[in-house]
Amino acid sequence: GVSWKLADHPKLPKDKIVAMVVLDGWGEANPDQYNCIYVADTPTMDSLKQGAPEKWRLVRAHGTAVGLPTEDDMGNSEVGHNALGAGRIFAQGAKLVDSALASGKIYEGEGFEYIKESFETGTLHLIGLLSDGGVHSRLDQLQLLLKGASEHGAKRIRVHVLTDGRDVLDGTSVGFVETLENDLAKLREKGVDAQIASGGGRMYVTMDRYENDWDVVKRGWDAHVLGEAPYKVRNAVEAVKKLRQEPNASDQYLPPFVIVDENGKPVGPIVDGDAVVTFNFRADRMVMIAKALEYEDFDKFDRVRFPKIRYAGMLQYDGELKLPSRYLVSPPEIDRTSGEYLVHNGVRTFACSETVKFGHVTFFWNGNRSGYFDPQMEEYVEIPSDSGITFNVQPKMKAVEIAEKARDAILSRKFQQVRVNLPNGDMVGHTGDIEATVVACKAADDAVKLILDAIEQVGGIYVVTADHGNAEDMVKRNKSGKPLLDKNGQIQILTSHTLQPVPIAIGGPGLAPGVRFRNDVPDGGLANVAATVMNLHGFEAPSDYEPTLIEVVDN
């Protein structure tokens, strides 16, 4: 068994109240008009920066520092919060799927063996996000899986595509669908009956998260499983082109569509005896559809029909729920997270965000595990997000409410760790609305102030950091950093995350004198934060954790 007892830190006291604040989508970049954090009025974060280099520094939040395949992979909330919570770098889903596909092991595993039993008489359905964003899925992995599945006996394949425009530029979905159509045409030449069957925009169809809005999943169910959608079309490229012309339509928010044959019949509803794979590796936005596909007992919406299928996830998405029970690639085993250690060592923990980011500071933080380690020691509070809106119309989101909950938890003195995620920079940044993102950044800064004021009152400590960049750069740039213009001379709005590092700041009246950032971990990343926070709670981190960012000098 694991020995949970942490050694006492030789110099730092226990029982301080530590506020752990994660600004979502808040990176550090050169100041210019597309840097919404720079443009916004952010006096609190600016003042923290004055503490550099001893109390403020940058940490890496993308690429290999968070377990992604390459340094070209932007950071994201899953890998960011996993690293923050787990204190070590785990090869993440993207990388694990790459290896399983490259070695062919994916076709030897139990998950594939299971779905394969349907290949003789049933259809193989692949549902997931269609882009090369690398955050939830990757097109090249889908391409390899299509090829491999057909070589391993799949004779009839239907793909259900969710268009992106969030982890990649808006408008790129047409090209991705064309690429996929080419691949499917090649499979047809080889005698495989392969087609796109349905689709829709990721934010409107199927990929909701943390039970924010089950209607999103219902629209996906209706299109993918029942073969029902308001738009019935013959061809997916046409569908995407046409639906993009609807008012307010974008890749992220395309309405659902179903592909029909010359008689108007859906080409690929999901029926008894079929196999289904959700090909996203990332968990949060697959959990809800996975429940609908897997659970016999289900009351979130009327499924109308619950086909008897063989279902596997690309990965297992929830380690606590063991959901789905079948999967093609084993997920990273993110064990012994800092949250679990701290609870075992008497640190009472409070975590809070609004719905759209709630699982980030709970589920992701705890290694993709839902629920409490010890309900006596922990309290997780979810503030309901506004649903059915794009957050540029409500850029302040629930930042004040989150900060007030954190303040109350701090002032109650019932918890030693109070952990929040402030979503504004990210959620509004993803809309590509620069003006709204500036408002969002100010709102997040105000919320930080509220929390720091409470920490001041109780003599506590704060750690303020971020999970990855987003709001600090809202334009696509060329290699030398200049905004890239499209063929009409327009800038291209960057809705996605970035490769930028993120700030981390420490302080507060409870911070022991002599605590400062060491200068011998220049490449420190998000995974170094867990040991840092354990120290601030008065403990040494486990020896296999990434090294702490702080030292205590005698003065």
Q: Looking at beta carbons only, is 426 or 445 nearer to Co ion?
A: 426
Which position among 426, 467, 473, 546 is part of the footprint of Co ion (CB under 5 A)?
426
Q: Does 77 bind ligand 3PG (CB under 6 A)?
A: yes
Binding residues: 24, 77, 136, 166-167, 202, 209, 282-285, 357, 426, 430, 467-468, 497
What's the distance, Cα to Cα, between the start and end of the chain in Å? Answer: 41
Question: Using the 8-state DSSP alphabet, how is residue 173 labeled?
Answer: H
Site for ligand 3PG in 239-298 (CB under 6 A): 285
Per-residue DSSP letters for 444-463? HHHHHHHHHHHHHHHT-EEE
Stretch that binds ligand 3PG, among 70-78, 222-230, 384-392, 543-551 (CB under 6 A): 70-78
Judged by CB under 5 A, does residue 446 bind Co ion?
no
Q: Which is nearer to ligand 3PG, 35 or 470 (CB)?
A: 470
Give me 273's structure tokens: 């005896």
Question: Please, is 489 exposed, middle or buried when counting C-beta atoms within 10 Å of its C-beta (0-12, 13-18, 19+)?
Answer: exposed
- Residue 454 near residue 406, CB atoms below 8 Å: yes
In angstroms, rounded to a whole number, what is the distance separating the alpha carbons of residues 173 and 164?
Answer: 6
Element (H, E) at 236: helix 236-243
The strand pair at 310-315 and 327-329 is best described as parallel
- Residues ≥6 apart with Cβ < 8 Å to 333: 90
Q: Are 25 and 431 in contact (CB under 8 A)?
A: no
For ligand 3PG, give the closer residue by CB, 59 or 259: 59
Q: Which of the stretches 75-83, 193-201, 434-442, 508-516 binds ligand 3PG when contact is defined by CB under 6 A?
A: 75-83
Write the binding mask 30 to 69 for ligand 3PG: x where contact by CB under 6 A, - elsewhere: ----------------------------------------
Count of CB atoms within 10 A of residue 509's CB? Answer: 13
Task: Select the residue interacting with ligand 3PG from 135, 139, 254, 541 (CB under 6 A).
Answer: 135
Closest of 449, 461, 448, 386 to residue 420, by C-alpha:
448
Binding residue numbers for Mn(2+): 24, 77, 426, 430, 467-468, 497
Window of 76-84, 117-125, 314-322, 477-485 that interacts with ligand 3PG by CB under 6 A:
76-84
How many Å apart are CA 507 and CA 122, to the nearest integer? Answer: 60
The residues annotated with a catalytic role in the active site are: 77
Report the amino acid identity of residue 354: E
- Out of 42, 76, 131, 150, name the contact with ligand 3PG by CB under 6 A: 76
Q: Does residue 467 touch Co ion according to CB under 5 A?
A: no
> Taking the mean position of all CA atoms in its chain, how far away is CA 425?
14
Q: Which of Co ion, ligand 3PG, none sits in contact with 150, Cβ below 5 to 8 A by type?
A: none
Element (H, E) at 156: strand 156-163
Q: What character string, x for contact with ligand 3PG (CB under 6 A) and - otherwise, covers 148-187?
A: ------------------xx--------------------
- Residue 138's binding partner among Co ion, ligand 3PG, none (Cβ under 5 to 8 angstroms by kind) is none
The binding site for substrate consists of: 136, 166-167, 202, 209, 282-285, 357
Near ligand 3PG in 331-390, by CB under 6 A = none
Residue number with CB closer to Co ion (194 or 207)? 207
- The Cα 139–Cα 143 span in angstroms is 6
Contacted entry of Co ion, ligand 3PG, none for residue 166, CB cut-off 5 to 8 Å set by kind: ligand 3PG
Taking the mean position of all CA atoms in its chain, how far away is CA 464? 19
Closest CB to ligand 3PG belongs to which residue?
Answer: 77
**Residue 266 binding result from ligand 3PG, Co ion, none, given CB thresholds of 5 to 8 Å by partner type:** none
Regarding 219 and contact with ligand 3PG (CB under 6 A), the answer is no
CA-to-CA dists, residue 219 to 205, 258, 288, 410, angstroms: 6, 11, 12, 41
Q: Which residues of 3-17 are buried (b: 16+ CB within 10 A; e: fewer)?
A: eeebeebeebeeebb
Considering only 31-39, 74-82, 256-264, 527-535, which stretch makes contact with ligand 3PG by CB under 6 A?
A: 74-82
Provide the binding-site residues for Co ion, judged by CB under 5 A.
Answer: 426
Provide the binding-site residues for ligand 3PG, judged by CB under 6 A.
Answer: 24-25, 76-78, 135-136, 166-167, 285, 426, 430
